[in-house]
Amino acid sequence: MFDYKTLKNTKIEILYEAFLSAFSDYQVKMDLPFWKFQQMLQRRGYVSEISIGAFKNNMLVGFVLNGFRNWNGKLTVYDTGTGVLGEYRKQGITSNMILNIKEVLKEKEVEQYLLEVIQTNTSAVQLYKKQGFEIIRNLACFQLDKNKYNPMATYKVEHIGKIDSTNWKCLMEFWDFKPSWQNSIDSINAAPDTFIYSIVRFDDIIVGYGIIDKKTGDIPQIAVNKNYRRKGIARSIVTDLLKNTESHKVGVLNVEHQSKSTKDFLLVLGFEHIVDQYEMVLKL
């Protein structure tokens, strides 16, 4: 028998050990030191009271780590990571954890439950569909080895301390698609000091920007004003971003498949298309 309860009283160190164990055979190899795990939870808005664990003799053998915030105008919970330790799989634990979460979310009047899943993980995709989740977007993930990048800087790139709400309103106009949860404005603002913010201005007006994690090389957002594209602005920004991260690998995750211009741009720069994900939602 397994006990299912929220992770309110479970220490982050225990979550970390369970996470590493559950994802040790994951399709995408994970480089996840403890600080990076903490940062991931912080960025994605982790809330222990709406996260569920499966326990066997008080040992955490399965978990669903959830974030919580307003998303597209609706109170939304986001699955930051679901995992079950290898020897406890195929015993219905994930389905039972989701059923428990549904009860918790109804109590809190949450309107929807959001997640991403690797498309080739067919068993997980089918499980979520069975639970009522629907696919809303196809997302592509890219990675670049810095050593294989040919730097090119046509324009002067500046750094700013942070992006305030007035600037965000302007920069959102540059988007070809809405960033996924982990790349959203709220996720960036949840850990603002972890990023470098690079911009290009023409006549004191921002015409392009990019954001990179100083340590991990994650690029949550990069965009150029639609009236100033194909001039080398984005490439100048990418060149600057790569100089300002410690990581040898740089990632751009969750590019919407319909954004051909973004995908083509990354491929031209030498990024490798590594995996595809579904963004799925359950209306509550």
**Strand ranges of the sheet holding 195-202, from the earlier edge strand across to the other edge:** 158-160, 195-202, 205-213, 221-224
Residues 150, 104 share a domain? no
Residues 151, 265 share a domain? yes
The number of beta carbons lying within 10 Å of the beta carbon of residue 260 is 10
100 neighbors 259 (Cβ within 8 angstroms): no
Question: For residue 162, what pLDDT is reported?
Answer: 87
Q: Is residue 242 assigned to a domain?
A: yes
Q: Is residue 15 assigned to a domain?
A: yes
Domains identified in the chain, total number:
2
As a whole number of angstroms, the distance between CA 272 and CA 236 comes to: 19
As a whole number of angstroms, the distance between CA 151 and CA 25 comes to: 35
Residues of the chain with pLDDT > 90: what percent?
91
As a whole number of angstroms, the distance between CA 192 and CA 50 comes to: 24
Residues 192, 90 share a domain? no
Within 72-186, strands assigned E span 74-84, 112-118, 134-145, 158-160
Report the CATH number at residue 47: 3.40.630.30
Structural domain ending residue among the three candidates 110, 134, 156: 110
Residues of the chain with pLDDT > 70: what percent?
98
Task: Give the pLDDT band (50/70/90) at residue 118.
Answer: very high
Q: Is residue 127 assigned to a domain?
A: no
Question: For residue 25, what pLDDT is reported?
Answer: 79
Please determine, for residue 11, whether its predicted confidence score (pLDDT) is greater than 90: yes
Please determine, for residue 192, whether its predicted confidence score (pLDDT) is greater than 90: yes
As a whole number of angstroms, the distance between CA 44 and CA 8 comes to: 17
Token code pair at residue 146: 């810095």
Question: For residue 29, what pLDDT is reported?
Answer: 65
Token code pair at residue 213: 């994690």
Structural domain ending residue among the three candidates 93, 110, 127: 110
In 3D, which of 269, 216, 259 has the Cα closest to residue 238?
269
Residues 265, 173 share a domain? yes
The model's pTM: 0.93
Q: Is residue 61 assigned to a domain?
A: yes
Give me the domain span that covers residue 47: 3-110
Q: Is residue 24 assigned to a domain?
A: yes
Residues 260, 150 share a domain? yes
Q: Is residue 154 assigned to a domain?
A: yes
Please determine, for residue 208, whether its predicted confidence score (pLDDT) is greater than 80: yes
Residues 146, 106 share a domain? no
Residues 161, 76 share a domain? no
Residues 15, 104 share a domain? yes
Residues 168, 67 share a domain? no
Question: For residue 27, what pLDDT is reported?
Answer: 63
Residues 225, 160 share a domain? yes
Q: Is residue 54 assigned to a domain?
A: yes
Structural domain ending residue among the three candidates 110, 127, 157: 110
Please determine, for residue 96, whether its predicted confidence score (pLDDT) is greater than 80: yes
Cα-based distances in Å from 152 to 79, 149, 236, 259: 38, 9, 6, 23
Residues 186, 61 share a domain? no
Question: For residue 28, what pLDDT is reported?
Answer: 60
Q: Is residue 282 assigned to a domain?
A: no
